[in-house]
Chain A
């Protein structure tokens, strides 16, 4: 039987709040002396990364590494070595952990690598500016980092995909800050990162917009530490005063003098948070927990310590133990607090009586009947908070026992908690070494846990956990397959049997079979194939890629594998035009123009989309390339259209004419385009003639690039009637169109005499009605009247009406004896006077 939970409790604030110190692992002798190392701890029970602190002297001994090269060691919370790699770049400035348990290592040149737990890494850079001035310090948080450059500016990196760093507002400080910290975007109210710099006596807060002096006077501060939820700050001044304030600097929450701690020796090592409401200040072999009201609890350790803030507590490593110190959760407190009379406590008591076959059970249950459901929930929750399976089981039994008395028991929570605890106990096992608490697990989600397991190459456990929690095994399988490919790297010196086993077909079959067997059909084969390609197994990659259904995943890999035609085909098939562009642009860059064109042309109908998209792109961006493309494919019509398009943009007349002529030439080379060639010939002739016209008009009139009709019109507007006639004959303008055009133009210049002469020059091919209508439309009713008489007799009455010549309407109708028409038109007449007149005429008719 494990000790009673309360044995690890310690009271604070007159016994209303308890903190407990839970020993997670015994790590005696597993870790080197923490004092000699620079350490970065990963939250949520994650591992420790350690690097030898070169500023410290070390006794030469057996354990001392012989070489001076930087080396980073990673240990799990249980002290198991996970990874060891050496660093051969320039000096490491900082390392830290991402949310996904990847280790970020940044050097003084602004180059950073993101390592996974297998030692594979991606390398990124903070940009040229950072590498020039150098990086002096950085703060790495879960989803990004902020680097302090040599010129004391701040660069922010968001995410870990190598995004371009953003420059934050310049803090304008002259010396590097004494200490500094960042509040990550997630826990900041503005959702953007905030940097806290301890400068002189005060703190500067810097974000991407501004740098603000918060005007504190107690500084300088040697430690700045924001709480996990970003709402409070713990500041330790050089004079040893610990100050707790809200992160908006509006409220001061607590003050505590660290110099008064009796057994503290030397300097404060760390100021970390324990959850969001208490602070841990560590010295060598001592950790002091400072509560919200400056009450303290002291914990002694052997040797140097290292503390890691967790969202619900703090993990402390000593030389021999790894502890979790946290506030005792409410549910646990209400059950186990001595003298507690809460329903949950009574339920627990009842269950204990029941196991001892005591009749007290019944009485207890009765007394809490109304709150029984809450009591059951309390027990379930408390079970989740316990570390020891013994107590978990007892509390869950209590809950189950209590449920029996409920009218409508709902076992969902109970079952979930049981499952969760099973998983948590499994990963807390020292060989796995992930001391995850229930609330951390709820916060980070089961899938996160699974990815952490896979990144440790614990595929079987991960698979079992995911099946147990009925999650999709995709991620696990994907990781497994990548690992499999890495492991089965063909070795040249392999014996016959091994070589056979490791052959591409075999591995591919293994992977595909495993996926099918486990139903992981949604696994992206492209990612695995990429992995295979990266390790140089092109054959395997091609085979795996065949299983990929999504073109957007296939194509980039195919491109990097130089499978150009296949990549283009897949992209076209996908219908995703952007993907096609991706391929086209890539190929355009990497192939010679000739083979690039050939690739597209040879594709024929199948690659028509690619060919068309290339034309769309080239028309806007690269006309020379388009011209070559059309030329190489003998596309005369397209070449001609391209020439025309260019012509329409040209200002210089001669260039334009020659462009039109070249279009004409292209058309004439295609025997089906005789009409177009002829038109272009006309066009070129017209342009030349227009140049001539402009010269005749002393450059005062613009003719160039007008249409035939417009040219005629412009000639007439400017009195060049002869020229208009010449155009008519030169370009074989039909009479009708010429008459309309000329009539419109003469009306426009109000040359009514000219119009009259024109109308009489010969019999109008368009009749005279259009004259009347057009003149009326343009507001020249008076001039229009004259033409009515020359129109068809039956229409005259209507036309007179349109010209507002009502007397003539009457006369016309009378002459023609059309009484019905008269009656009809009379309805439209403008005033009664005319109406009466028309009425009279109508009367006079029979």
Chain B
């Protein structure tokens, strides 16, 4: 292999390709309708679409006006109306209503319905029942994985968790399989498929049967041989690790998601923070004044801010434990200050011009992002100081350590009495149930009663869903005799896992803050089980002990050079080997399959591959993942040479978003009639 090849191999996969594909598909779909058109958009798709395209592109392809898909009349000046939505019953009814109204007003339109991500016979049937099927052309817009960071791709399904584990609607699993197949079509077959959890097994089963079923003529060449890019796919079913999302994320990005909320990589910040103060530079202030003056009427004006990997400061900050963010920001501020100072000392005009150039470019943007992130931290700090936040953290840590259990239950009860957020309370209750293997019947009944009285009896279905066999994360102990055996078998062996997977790092906390020497930094001393499982596949040493620590003892002088070059070559993927026993104790199926192209029998012991080539391990979180898990996986990737991670997920979640999803609590969304992306 030539040196150049090897260099190419070091680069992570180009996930932007996925974005380009989605973009092209959208343009094609729009162009299939001739002439100018009105686009009516599913609000839940606005975010994902914003990651794919911008309004200008839509305009360029004949979109005249955009509206949200919502109840009420729709007046359109164009003949063509294009609906873009997910196949939900609700939306279909609205569309049918629009068509009927137009028919009554005898205004003639051509309707096109683009369903995301694929056609649905359910929708056709509903339209038929409404009697408007003949008036509308239905086609699909296959929106699949979208890159939300360089190494993270997401399907951006908001309700994936609820769909699978509460409603039992497996559409997400099927769509995920389709999306992973697309990924394989682009980059080649995953040589090895690993998974933990029943639905993970289902997903892998769908992936493998697809291959045997696909007709050769339609099969892409890439599906015919194992990829040289990928070394494996690890599917983690969210049900396998329910603890992680229930905990409060303590990395910078995770905390932003917990406290401010990140949607489709955008966070809503006070407008004053996002907009640069107008005196900074004239040209940036020229555009927005009209907008700001009109909107400043509202009291708390929020503005969306895109958290991207292209923001180098954010890239540094996002995975840090929040306790270190202040220090980092301080350091950057000081460096910028130094930069300004040195340039002030510049003697010649050439130096000065050079400085001004830098000021306009990199320095300016860095300055901006420093200002924003300092602002964000300032927003977060008071929120992390509240009693509720700290009490909840304390209960979490104690539960994880199984410390003084009965006190924790009464602490939760006290939180209810104090009127804490319903999400916080439910998260803690579920956490208690999982870590303790169920809550004592009497205590549970009591706390459930407290809960219902405090938040309303309407939440009884929520409690039932949490206790239902498919989810089973809020259970009494002992289980009533009538419980299905499946539930009894799926008891989570937390106490033994804590030991075998080294979940709690009880080194002295000061040292922990200094050295991020284990993935547990993301929860200040607790390692997410999901990522530990990935480590079981991709970094076996990391499960047993802290590699960083070991290195320190090996090279006591701690010279930086040895540290940088001393990264160990990642070991080849050999499945769950060494951890089979632990995996067997975890509920849910365990899968380990080698994937061979159709009709080819691979040599035993996997496919021989060049030793130094960097390969990518795809980690797919079925049911969503948290920002802390991403941070932890990035940390794992940094420890070894020769292995990158590509994190794929059905969506970004927090414990609260799960609870809200199940309870049907809807966070208010922007309700402007004119849609903007």
Cβ contact within 8 Å between B121 and A522: no
- Which of B169, B205, B417 touches A737 (beta carbons < 8 Å)? B417
Q: A577-B171, A675-B448, A679-B452 are in contact. Are A740 and B419 (CB under 8 A)?
A: yes
Residues of chain B within 8 A (CB-CB) of A550 are 213
A377 within 8 A of B: no
Cβ contact within 8 Å between A737 and B121: no
- What are 22 A-B residue pairs whose CB atoms fall within 8 Å in the complex? A191-B31, A208-B110, A209-B35, A474-B217, A578-B119, A615-B168, A620-B89, A621-B89, A641-B461, A648-B458, A660-B457, A672-B482, A679-B460, A682-B453, A683-B452, A683-B460, A705-B458, A708-B454, A709-B453, A733-B453, A734-B450, A737-B417
A613 within 8 A of B: yes
Cβ contact within 8 Å between B387 and A773: yes
Cβ contact within 8 Å between B134 and A164: yes
Docked complex Cα distance between A844 and B372 (Å)? 46
A658 within 8 A of B: no
- Which of B35, B89, B461, B480 touches A208 (beta carbons < 8 Å)? B35
B501 within 8 A of A: no
Cβ contact within 8 Å between B121 and A741: no
A645 within 8 A of B: yes
Q: In this complex, which of A576, A648, A672, A731 has the most chain B Cβ atoms within 10 angstroms of its Cβ?
A: A576
Q: A709-B453, A736-B414 are in contact. Are A613 and B480 (CB under 8 A)?
A: no
B675 within 8 A of A: no
A449 to nearest B CB, angstroms?
16
Residues of chain B within 8 A (CB-CB) of A707 are 452-457
Having A686-B457, A707-B457, one finds 7 other A-B pairs with CB under 8 Å, namely A522-B217, A581-B125, A620-B88, A675-B445, A707-B454, A707-B456, A737-B417
- Which of A190, A585, A676, A766 touches B464 (beta carbons < 8 Å)? A676
Docked complex Cα distance between A734 and B126 (Å)? 50
B106 within 8 A of A: no
A316 within 8 A of B: no
A170 to nearest B CB, angstroms?
11
Would you give the 0/1 interface string for B433-460, flagging 1 where the beta carbon is closer than 8 Å to chain A? 0000000000001001110111111101
A705 to nearest B CB, angstroms?
8
Cβ contact within 8 Å between A166 and B456: no
B112 to nearest A CB, angstroms?
11
Residues of chain A within 8 A (CB-CB) of B212 are 549
Cβ contact within 8 Å between B31 and A581: no
Residues of chain A within 8 A (CB-CB) of B120 are 578, 581
Docked complex Cα distance between A49 and B110 (Å)? 36
Residues of chain B within 8 A (CB-CB) of A686 are 457
Docked complex Cα distance between A766 and B416 (Å)? 13
Total residue contacts A-B, CB cutoff 8 A = 140
Cβ contact within 8 Å between B205 and A608: no
Cβ contact within 8 Å between A576 and B168: no
Residues of chain A within 8 A (CB-CB) of B458 are 644, 648, 705
B174 within 8 A of A: yes
Q: A675-B448, A680-B460 are in contact. Are A709 and B419 (CB under 8 A)?
A: yes
B177 within 8 A of A: yes
Docked complex Cα distance between A609 and B104 (Å)? 40
Docked complex Cα distance between A621 and B449 (Å)? 33
- Which of B202, B206, B215, B464 touches A522 (beta carbons < 8 Å)? B215
A754 within 8 A of B: no
Q: Kindly identify, within residues 678 to 700 of chain A, every residue whose CB is under 8 Å from any CB belonging to chain B.
A: 679-680, 682-683, 686
B80 to nearest A CB, angstroms?
9
Docked complex Cα distance between A676 and B467 (Å)? 12
- Which of B125, B169, B448 touches A577 (beta carbons < 8 Å)? B169
Cβ contact within 8 Å between B455 and A641: no
Docked complex Cα distance between A660 and B458 (Å)? 10
Determine chain A's interface SS by DSSP, over half rule: helix
Cβ contact within 8 Å between B174 and A676: no
Q: In this complex, which of B202, B213, B445 has the most chain A Cβ atoms within 10 angstroms of its Cβ?
A: B213
A637 within 8 A of B: yes
B441 to nearest A CB, angstroms?
9
A192 within 8 A of B: yes
A8 to nearest B CB, angstroms?
41
A617 within 8 A of B: yes
B175 to nearest A CB, angstroms?
9
Cβ contact within 8 Å between B464 and A621: no
Docked complex Cα distance between A601 and B545 (Å)? 50
Q: A577-B174, A686-B457 are in contact. Are A737 and B480 (CB under 8 A)?
A: no
Q: In this complex, which of B79, B120, B212, B457 has the most chain A Cβ atoms within 10 angstroms of its Cβ?
A: B457
- A-B pairs, top 6 by smallest CB distance, nearest first, are A612-B168, A683-B457, A707-B456, A620-B89, A708-B453, A737-B417
Residues of chain B within 8 A (CB-CB) of A736 are 414, 417
Q: A609-B170, A612-B168 are in contact. Are A709 and B460 (CB under 8 A)?
A: no
Cβ contact within 8 Å between B457 and A682: yes
B142 to nearest A CB, angstroms?
13
B535 to nearest A CB, angstroms?
29
Cβ contact within 8 Å between A190 and B460: no
Residues of chain A within 8 A (CB-CB) of B464 are 637, 641, 676
Docked complex Cα distance between A675 and B476 (Å)? 12
What is the size category of the interface that chain B forms with chain A?
35 or more
A330 within 8 A of B: no
Cβ contact within 8 Å between B167 and A737: no
Docked complex Cα distance between A524 and B450 (Å)? 60
Residues of chain A within 8 A (CB-CB) of B416 are 737
- Which of B122, B174, B213, B417 touches A585 (beta carbons < 8 Å)? B122
A596 to nearest B CB, angstroms?
15
B309 within 8 A of A: no
Docked complex Cα distance between A608 and B461 (Å)? 21
Cβ contact within 8 Å between A709 and B457: no
Residues of chain B within 8 A (CB-CB) of A733 are 453
Q: A576-B174, A621-B126 are in contact. Are A609 and B456 (CB under 8 A)?
A: no
Residues of chain A within 8 A (CB-CB) of B71 are none
Cβ contact within 8 Å between B125 and A609: no
B195 to nearest A CB, angstroms?
14
B458 to chain A: closest residue by CB: A648
A798 within 8 A of B: no
Q: Kindly identify, within residues 456 to 475 of chain B, every residue whose CB is under 8 Å from any CB belonging to chain A.
A: 456-458, 460-461, 464
Q: A209-B34, A679-B452 are in contact. Are A575 and B460 (CB under 8 A)?
A: no
B293 within 8 A of A: no
Q: Kindly identify, within residues 187 to 216 of chain A, every residue whose CB is under 8 Å from any CB belonging to chain B.
A: 190-192, 207-209
Docked complex Cα distance between A52 and B482 (Å)? 80
Residues of chain A within 8 A (CB-CB) of B90 are 620
Docked complex Cα distance between A731 and B449 (Å)? 10
Cβ contact within 8 Å between B168 and A575: no
B557 to nearest A CB, angstroms?
38
Docked complex Cα distance between A672 and B475 (Å)? 13
Q: In this complex, which of B202, B205, B450, B456 has the most chain A Cβ atoms within 10 angstroms of its Cβ?
A: B456
Residues of chain A within 8 A (CB-CB) of B34 are 190, 192, 207-209
Docked complex Cα distance between A641 and B31 (Å)? 46
A699 to nearest B CB, angstroms?
22
Q: Kindly identify, within residues 639 to 682 of chain A, every residue whose CB is under 8 Å from any CB belonging to chain B.
A: 641, 644-645, 648, 660, 672, 675-676, 679-680, 682
- Which of A192, A575, A617, A731 touches B202 (beta carbons < 8 Å)? A575
Cβ contact within 8 Å between A612 and B121: no
Q: A549-B213, A672-B480, A676-B460 are in contact. Are A164 and B31 (CB under 8 A)?
A: no
Residues of chain B within 8 A (CB-CB) of A780 are none
B487 to nearest A CB, angstroms?
13
Cβ contact within 8 Å between A524 and B170: no
A128 to chain B: closest residue by CB: B134
Docked complex Cα distance between A734 and B410 (Å)? 13
A789 to nearest B CB, angstroms?
21
- Which of A575, A577, A612, A741 touches B419 (beta carbons < 8 Å)? A741
Would you give the 0/1 interface string for A557-586, flagging 1 where the beta carbon is closer than 8 Å to chain B? 000000000000000000111110110010
A770 within 8 A of B: yes
Docked complex Cα distance between A682 and B419 (Å)? 20
Residues of chain A within 8 A (CB-CB) of B60 are none
A787 within 8 A of B: no
Cβ contact within 8 Å between B168 and A608: yes
